């Protein structure tokens, strides 16, 4: 334990400190750092504005956004984007009226069936096959559907894991442990290749839906653990108070435990959802034409061959923008839902 002794090596320590803190040394370091960063920024900017050719992005904006969705029907995904944007706006900047606060959640849930209806067609709209879905539209659709399905499943798994019934508790623990031990790409392969084999003949699930199912299976296990953490943070006296009012187990879960646990788990859940959004890009390996898949097919076009850097910088900024929006909304939600603990 000699090296903890502050008296040892004092001399050399002082020398090093002197050297590090000397002004000339500081200035020298600063100068080097300055030169390097300026040249980096300069090179980057000249490349962006002079050497690069953004035609690969600008002439394909339609493809990035909608994939091969029929051009005369593209108002449908646009309408859906607009509804998503407006509900985001209402969530963040909307008035604090009680009925808005209470019904906002239904608005969010409603955007998913709305999106499916608008993309899929039927009921008065021309049907569009899922193989024409693509680009950012598909990325957002996979993300939002997976979120919608995995949240309730995650809550249910978390509650089951705390259940007093041995079998239920073990089964849910087993499921969560298995899902967390398997890499996502394996789950996605499983969804794409094995689900069709297991299904009875004649029943077929579309590729997009198989992807959503696989993502839901995977993410719900993680969300379950986040919510379980939230549940554990609620003091036992909340349960006692609810019991003493005559509430039964289900009412205690629904009205007391879950609302409080969700608030606690919100930052962790946001993490999972941002991860989910980025991980949808894995589907390009499995042949879906989501944002990355579309980009790969554009790069395969002889006209744009070799323009990887432009495309990937563009992709990075799109992913960055959407992840930032998600993080921002979650931060605002957190602020709105924060409760002054009055235990």
Nearer to another protein, 120 or 253 (CB): 253
Site for another protein in 46-75 (CB under 8 A): none
Hey, is 246 helix, strand or coil? coil
242 counts as binding another protein under rule CB under 8 A: yes
Nearer to another protein, 167 or 339 (CB): 339
Considering only the stretches 135-143, 274-282, 292-300, 334-342, report the one whose residues sit in contact with another protein under the rule CB under 8 A.
Answer: 334-342
Could you please report the per-residue DSSP string of 139-181? Answer: HHHHHHHHHHHHHHHHHHHHHHHT-SSHHHHHHHHHHHHHHHH
Which residues face 122 on adjacent strands? 125
Q: For another protein, what does the binding mask look like between residues 212 and 241, x meaning CB under 8 A?
A: -------------------------xx-xx
In the complex with another protein, the residue whose CB is nearer, 257 or 298, is 257
* One residue of 97, 99, 166, 343 binding another protein per CB under 8 A: 343
If the CB atoms of residues 116 and 241 are measured against another protein, the closer one turns out to be 241
- Answer for which of 243, 301, 317, 328 binds another protein (CB under 8 A) is 243
Q: What is the CA radius of gyration of the chain?
A: 26
Q: Find out whether 132 and 70 touch, Cβ atoms under 8 Å.
A: yes
- Residue 68 CB, shortest distance to another protein, in Å, is 46
Among 244, 300, 302, 306, binds another protein (CB under 8 A): 244
Per the CB < 8 A criterion, the answer to whether 69 and 134 are in contact is yes
Distance CA 75, CA 259 (A): 37
**Does 255 interact with another protein (rule: CB under 8 A)?**
yes
| Nearest distance, CB of residue 232 and another protein, angstroms | 16
8 Å CB contact between 65 and 76: no
For residue 241, the minimal CB distance to another protein (Å) is: 4
Under the binding rule (CB under 8 A), the answer on residue 163 touching another protein is: no
Applying CB under 8 A, does 247 fall inside the site for another protein? yes
Long-range contacts of 113-117, Cβ-Cβ distance < 8 Å, separation of 24 or more: 114/80, 114/83, 115/80, 115/84, 115/140, 115/141, 115/144, 116/141, 116/145
Residue selected from 248, 300, 302, 306 as contacting another protein according to rule CB under 8 A: 248
User: Given the rule CB under 8 A, which of 116-124, 153-161, 247-255, 287-295 is the region that contacts another protein?
Assistant: 247-255
Q: How far is the CB of 340 from another protein (least distance, A)?
A: 2
- Token pair listed for 234: 């609620």
Distances from the Cα of 226 to the Cα of 48, 129, 269, 280, 340, angstroms: 41, 36, 7, 21, 21
Give the residue with the Cβ less far from another protein, 11 or 340. Answer: 340
Query: Within 10 A of 171 (CB to CB), how many other CB atoms are there?
Result: 15
Nearest to another protein of 211, 264 (CB atom): 264
Asked if 339 touches another protein (CB under 8 A), the answer is: yes
Determine contact, residues 229/268, Cβ cutoff 8 Å: yes
118 within 8 A of 77, measured Cβ to Cβ? yes
* Residues 6 or more apart in contact with residue 193 via CB below 8 angstroms: none
Contact pick of 259, 287, 301, 324 for another protein (by CB under 8 A)? 259
Under the rule (CB under 8 A), what is the footprint of another protein? 237-238, 240-248, 251, 255-256, 259-260, 263, 339-343
């Amino acid at each position: 334990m000699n090296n903890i002794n502050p008296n040892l090596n004092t001399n050399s320590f002082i020398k090093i400190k002197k050297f590090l803190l000397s002004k000339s040394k500081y200035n020298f370091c600063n100068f080097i750092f300055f030169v390097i960063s300026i040249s980096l920024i300069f090179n980057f900017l000249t490349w962006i504005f002079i050497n690069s050719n953004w035609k690969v992005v600008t002439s394909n904006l339609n493809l990035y956004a909608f994939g091969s969705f029929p051009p005369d029907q593209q108002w449908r995904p646009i309408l859906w984007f607009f509804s998503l944007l407006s509900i985001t706006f209402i969530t963040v900047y909307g008035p604090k009226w009680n009925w808005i606060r209470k019904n906002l959640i239904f608005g969010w849930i409603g955007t998913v069936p709305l999106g499916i209806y608008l993309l899929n067609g039927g009921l008065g709209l021309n049907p569009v096959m899922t193989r024409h879905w693509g680009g950012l539209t598909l990325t957002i659709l996979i993300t939002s559907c997976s979120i919608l399905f995995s949240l309730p499943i995650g809550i249910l798994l978390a509650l089951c894991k705390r259940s007093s019934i041995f079998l239920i508790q073990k089964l849910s623990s087993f499921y969560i442990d298995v899902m967390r031990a398997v890499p996502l790409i394996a789950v996605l392969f499983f969804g794409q290749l094995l689900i069709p084999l297991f299904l009875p003949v004649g029943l077929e699930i579309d590729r997009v839906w198989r992807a959503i199912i696989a993502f839901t299976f995977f993410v719900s296990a993680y969300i379950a653990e986040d919510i379980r953490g939230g549940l554990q943070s609620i003091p036992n006296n909340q349960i006692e108070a609810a019991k003493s009012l005559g509430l039964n187990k289900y009412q205690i879960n629904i009205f007391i435990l879950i609302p409080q646990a969700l608030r606690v788990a919100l930052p962790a859940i946001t993490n999972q959802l941002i991860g989910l959004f980025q991980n949808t890009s894995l589907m390009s390996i499995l042949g879906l034409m989501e944002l990355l898949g579309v980009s790969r097919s554009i790069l395969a076009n002889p006209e744009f061959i070799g323009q990887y850097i432009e495309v990937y910088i563009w992709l990075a900024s799109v992913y960055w923008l959407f992840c930032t929006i998600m993080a921002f909304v979650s931060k605002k939600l957190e602020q709105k839902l924060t409760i002054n603990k009055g235990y």
